[in-house]
Structure 1
Amino acid sequence: MVRAPFIDKNGMKKGAWSADEDNKLRAYILRYGHWNWSQLPKYAGLSRCGKSCRLRWMNYLRPTVKRGIYSKEEDDLIIKVQAELGSKWSAIAAKLPGRTDNDIKNHWHTHLKKRMKQEQMASLVGQQCSEISVPETNQNEQSIETSESEARRNSELTPEPSSSSEFSTFSWPATTESFAEGIGNFWTEPFLADTSFSQNDIPLSSLVEGGFMSPDFLCYDDDTVLFYQLMQELMESNRDT
């Protein structure tokens, strides 16, 4: 809030500058320069002190003074230099042509200080979130590695299914001739009767009734010849059918 103009006990005017006072100070300095700030108000026709005239000229009336909205580049530069040098507004103003130290100070405390605090809080929150997410990522990687090791262990313990059939171990003969030699000719080999059992062990009546033997079988004494003849008859009957 701008203080209303008033006159102190020494007769000096205080408070806001009027347009007429600005024109007088500007016209005198542009014509004669600011040779002595303490004597300048008397020659310029101003009821102001030398310090007030100097500040008014340097911060407002000087032609090279740049006023208005600060650009993003200027804001970033002020934040960067203030972090390096601190509250040295004159040194900061030297890096921003056209901006005064008083204007930069007011802009810092009004806008940039709050913005810098918000950015610091955002970066702190982001850092805490990243620190929390890192252990979770490591835990997920460990669980994946554990599942992979368990799957590998189970695959080692479980027998692999055979790609071939259960008859793959049987070695087939290379040619049909070797196969015929291996099994022999059943029809050309002589028949050898098995005499390890006794005829009395099997009732002959059951064989006759079952159709395995003819009744003429009982009339011969040579069991081997009769049995051989019976087998020949059975084989011939099978061929005819």
Structure 2
Amino acid sequence: MMAENFNWRDFAIGVGVGWATAYVLYAMRDALGDARRGVGQRLERAQAYATLSAEGRFIREFTREAQLSHLAGERIPLHKIAIEPRFIPPARFAEPPDDDIRRDVFRVVPRLPDLPYLAQPYNVETVTLDDLYHGPGAYALLGAPGSGRSTALVLTGMVALGEIRFAPPEDKVTARLRAEEDQLDPAQRAERLKRRLTIEQEAFDQARQRIARHRPAHGQSPAGRHGVDPV
């Protein structure tokens, strides 16, 4: 029954159309591949644009909120009145005894993390926002309520985004030395530069010797070097 209904003409037309379609697709394989790659690239660009737009909106919103985050935010932006905060670094870990004289005169200054203003009258070592941003590790920002921790965090974010820059303080000692050097003749200026380089090299050599003294010998722990048998 099926053989009587079989139409050879329709069968031949179907086979011919299939072969023609396959040939056309084969001949257009390069164009179709380029079109597919073009669509993929457009999708990637659209995704990148959406991501950048989201990041840009977030940065703009964060900057706007940061500029208004102080008491007079409705009248003046934060970056126009902000003063770079200074941070007191944590105390250093215990170090092996050294033959050199300890010259840290600020060791008697109280270092209470929750009360940093106690060290304010003294010229102790401080850390800037740039030092925190480029420094290694993680930090805990401590201080009493109202000491400016929130403002310091906001300024840190603005510095990281490049929205604000604090000019380094003027070094009056260096400026005075340069003014004195400008008044010297070339021979005296060269002599002073040579002396300065010599002092720097001596300081580097002393630091290198100090590190070599504290470095344990090969195959021996620091405890064994100080007279205690290593485990």
TM-score normalised by length of structure 2: 0.22
Higher-RCO chain (CA-CA 8 Å, sequence separation at least 6): 2
Structure showing greater radius of gyration is 1
